[in-house]
C-alpha cells in the first residue's frame, strides 16, 4: 500500500474516499453511455473541413488551461489514431495528418478549402491584430478590451454547426475571436486586457470589416473658486442644444463661458480629448460668486493622452481671474457619486434689498430663522425639479442694516437650501423667510458662497 504524504492519520478516510471515487469512475466509463467527444466530433467532421479552433470550441467548457485550438488539435489527433486502425471513418478533416499504417487518399477532397465555419478567420488573427495596432497609433493607453460584432454569414455558420453538433459544451465564436485578437495585441503592444474597466474598447465589426475605437474617459477631481458671474457648466442654447441658431447668435450657448469650459480648456489641450462632462458637489447660480472651494470631477471624453502632468495644468491668464483651481488629481468613475452626494454646509453672504424701510429693532425677529426651513421647490426651477417640500436647517444667522432698505446677511445652511427664496419667501412657498418675518418684500441683490464645510 502506498503511504500518503499527508501522514497516517488521514490514511483510512483517504482510502475510503478513493474507493468510492473509483466506483464513480467505473459508473462513468459505462460504454452504454456512448462516447460524447467522439460522437460529437464525428458529427462535426461530417459537415466539412473544420479548423482546430472551430472544432475545439465545441468542447470549450471541458478542461481548463487549454486554448480551443489545443482542444481541437488533441481531439483530431486521437480520432486520427482511431482512423488509422479502422475504428473511425477517414475524412477530409485528417488532411494534414501523417498516417503511418493507413493509406489515405493522396489528394483528399477539399484539400485547400478553409474551415467553413470561421472561413479561415483564425488564420488571420495576426493580420487583424496588426491592423488594430495601426489604428491605435498615437493613442496613449494601458488597458483595453476587444469586442466583436459578427457578420451575418459567421452567425449563420455558427448556427448551422450548432444544429449539427449540439451546444452542450460549446463557446461562441464571438468570444473566441475577441479573446484571440486581444491576446495577440497584448503580446504585440505590451498592453493589458481588462474586461471591466478598459481605457480603450476595440470593436471588431466583421460585417463592415472595420475596427471601431472607443476611448473611455479619464476622470480628474479638483476644487474651484469662482470670481465671476458665470454658470458652473456649459449653458447650451435650449432651442438648438449647442448646434447654433439665431436664438443664440449661432454660438450654440447662452453664456460665453463657464467654470466647466475654463477648466476644460487646458485639460483638453493636454489630453487631446474631444469634450468634457462636469460634476460639481452642488452648484451656485450663475450670478452667485463662489469664494470657498467647491469639489468637482471633470470627465475628459475620448482622450488620446492619459499620462499628463496635472501639476503643469494652468488656466489661461484671462480665465484665472474668473476661476481658481486647486488639488487636481486622477480619480475613477465611482468617485463621481461621492462628489455628487457630498452634503456640505454652505455659508452665504448677501446683500438684501427691502421694499420698505425697516429699523434695527425690526431685525430682531430674524433670529428665528435659525431653525428648520420648509421649502417647496422654487418656481424658478420648478420646470426641471420635482415639486416637493424640502426641510433644510439654518445653523447660524448674522445680519446688519446697511441703510433702512438694505441688509447685509450671512447664513450657514444645510446643503440643498435655496437661499434666494429664503429671503423672498417665493410667494409663501418658503417658510419662514426674511420677507415673511420683516413683513416687507425682500430680494437678494448680491450673493456669494463664502464657506463650504464638508
Ligand atoms: Zn474555423
Ligand atoms: Zn441656439
Q: Which CATH topology does 218-340 take?
A: Alpha-Beta Plaits (3.30.70)
CA of 112 to the centre of ligand 1 (A): 13
Largest CA distance in the chain: 116
Question: Exactly one of 285, 387, 426, 436 is catalytic; which is it?
Answer: 285
What is the C-alpha separation between 260 and 352, in angstroms, rounded? 29
The protein residues having their C-beta less than 5 angstroms from ligand 1 (an ion) are: 51, 54, 115, 117-118
157-170 residues labelled b (16+ CB within 10 A) or e (exposed): bbeebeeebeeebb
Per-residue pLDDT tens, the chain, 454 aa: give them: 344 444 444 444 445 555 666 666 555 554 455 688 999 999 999 999 999 999 999 999 999 999 999 999 999 999 999 999 999 999 899 998 999 988 766 665 556 789 999 999 999 999 999 999 999 999 999 999 999 999 999 999 999 999 999 999 999 999 999 999 999 999 999 999 999 999 999 999 999 999 999 999 999 999 999 999 999 999 999 999 999 999 999 999 999 999 999 999 999 999 999 999 999 999 999 999 999 999 999 999 999 999 999 999 999 999 999 999 999 999 999 999 999 988 889 999 999 999 999 999 999 999 999 999 999 999 988 888 889 999 999 999 999 999 999 999 999 999 989 999 999 999 999 999 999 999 999 999 999 999 998 7
**Where in the chain is CATH 3.30.2130.30?**
124-215
> What predicted TM-score, i.e. pTM, was given to this entire model?
0.81
CA of 236 to the centre of ligand 2 (A): 8
- Residues 6 or more apart in contact with residue 57 via CB below 8 angstroms: 68, 71, 72, 170, 171, 173, 176
Please name which ligand lies nearest the alpha carbon of 173.
Answer: 1
What is the C-alpha separation between 322 and 352, in angstroms, rounded? 24
**Where in the chain is CATH 3.30.70.3190?**
345-453
Q: What is the pLDDT of residue 11?
A: 44
**CATH for 345-453 (3.30.429.10, 3.40.30.10, 1.10.443.10, 3.30.70.3190):** 3.30.70.3190
Tell me whether strands 323-331 and 289-301 are parallel, antiparallel or unpaired.
unpaired
State yes or no: is 387 an active-site residue.
no
- What does R_g of the chain's alpha carbons equal in angstroms? 36
Q: Which CATH topology does 124-215 take?
A: VC0802-like (3.30.2130)
- The strand order across the sheet containing 143-149 reads 192-193, 143-149, 200-205, 210-215
What is the C-alpha separation between 67 and 250, in angstroms, rounded? 57
Please name which ligand lies nearest the alpha carbon of 244.
Answer: 2
Amino acid at each position: 500500500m502506498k503511504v500518503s504524504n499527508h501522514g497516517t492519520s488521514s490514511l483510512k478516510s483517504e482510502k475510503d474516499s478513493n474507493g468510492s471515487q473509483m466506483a464513480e469512475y467505473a459508473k462513468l466509463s459505462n460504454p452504454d453511455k456512448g462516447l460524447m467527444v467522439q460522437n460529437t466530433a464525428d458529427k462535426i467532421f461530417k459537415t466539412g473541413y473544420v479548423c482546430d479552433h472551430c472544432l475545439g470550441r465545441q468542447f470549450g467548457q471541458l478542461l481548463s488551461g487549454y486554448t480551443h485550438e489545443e482542444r481541437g488539435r488533441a481531439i483530431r489527433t486521437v480520432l486520427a489514431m482511431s482512423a488509422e486502425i479502422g475504428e473511425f471513418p477517414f475524412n477530409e478533416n485528417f488532411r494534414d495528418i501523417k498516417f503511418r499504417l493507413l493509406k489515405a487518399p493522396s489528394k483528399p477532397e477539399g484539400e485547400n478549402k478553409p474551415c467553413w465555419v470561421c472561413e479561415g478567420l483564425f488564420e488571420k488573427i495576426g493580420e487583424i491584430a496588426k491592423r488594430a495596432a495601426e489604428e491605435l497609433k498615437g493613442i496613449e493607453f494601458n488597458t483595453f478590451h476587444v469586442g466583436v460584432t459578427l457578420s451575418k454569414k459567421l452567425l449563420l455558420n455558427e448556427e448551422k454547426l450548432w444544429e449539427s453538433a449540439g451546444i452542450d459544451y460549446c463557446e461562441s465564436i464571438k468570444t473566441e475571436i475577441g479573446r484571440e485578437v486581444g491576446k495577440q495585441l497584448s503580446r504585440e503592444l505590451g498592453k493589458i486586457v481588462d474586461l471591466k474597466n478598459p481605457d480603450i474598447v476595440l470593436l471588431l465589426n466583421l460585417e463592415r470589416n472595420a475596427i471601431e475605437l472607443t476611448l473611455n474617459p479619464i476622470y480628474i477631481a479638483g476644487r474651484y473658486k469662482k470670481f465671476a458671474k458665470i454658470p458652473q457648466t456649459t449653458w447650451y442654447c435650449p432651442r438648438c442644444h449647442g448646434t447654433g441658431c439665431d436664438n443664440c447668435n449661432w454660438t450654440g450657448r447662452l453664456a460665453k463661458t463657464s467654470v466647466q469650459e475654463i477648466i476644460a480648456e487646458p485639460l483638453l489641450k493636454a489630453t487631446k480629448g474631444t469634450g468634457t462632462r462636469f460634476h460639481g458637489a452642488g452648484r451656485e447660480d450663475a450670478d452667485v460668486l463662489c469664494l470657498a472651494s467647491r469639489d468637482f470631477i471633470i470627465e475628459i471624453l475620448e482622450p488620446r493622452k492619459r499620462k499628463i502632468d496635472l501639476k503643469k495644468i494652468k488656466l489661461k491668464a484671462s480665465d484665472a481671474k474668473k476661476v481658481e483651481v486647486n488639488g487636481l488629481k486622477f480619480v475613477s468613475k465611482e468617485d463621481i457619486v461621492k462628489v455628487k452626494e457630498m452634503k456640505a454646509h454652505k455659508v452665504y453672504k448677501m446683500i438684501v434689498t427691502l421694499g420698505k424701510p425697516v429699523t434695527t429693532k425690526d431685525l430682531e425677529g430674524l433670529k428665528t430663522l435659525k431653525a428648520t426651513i420648509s421649502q417647496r421647490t422654487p418656481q424658478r426651477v420648478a420646470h426641471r425639479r420635482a415639486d416637493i417640500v424640502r426641510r433644510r436647517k439654518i445653523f447660524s444667522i448674522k445680519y446688519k442694516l446697511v441703510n433702512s432698505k438694505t441688509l447685509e446677511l450671512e447664513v450657514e445652511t444645510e446643503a440643498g437650501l435655496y437661499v434666494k427664496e429664503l429671503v423672498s419667501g417665493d410667494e409663501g412657498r418658503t417658510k419662514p423667510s426674511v420677507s415673511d418675518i420683516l413683513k416687507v418684500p425682500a430680494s437678494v441683490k448680491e450673493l456669494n458662497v463664502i464657506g463650504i464645510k464638508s
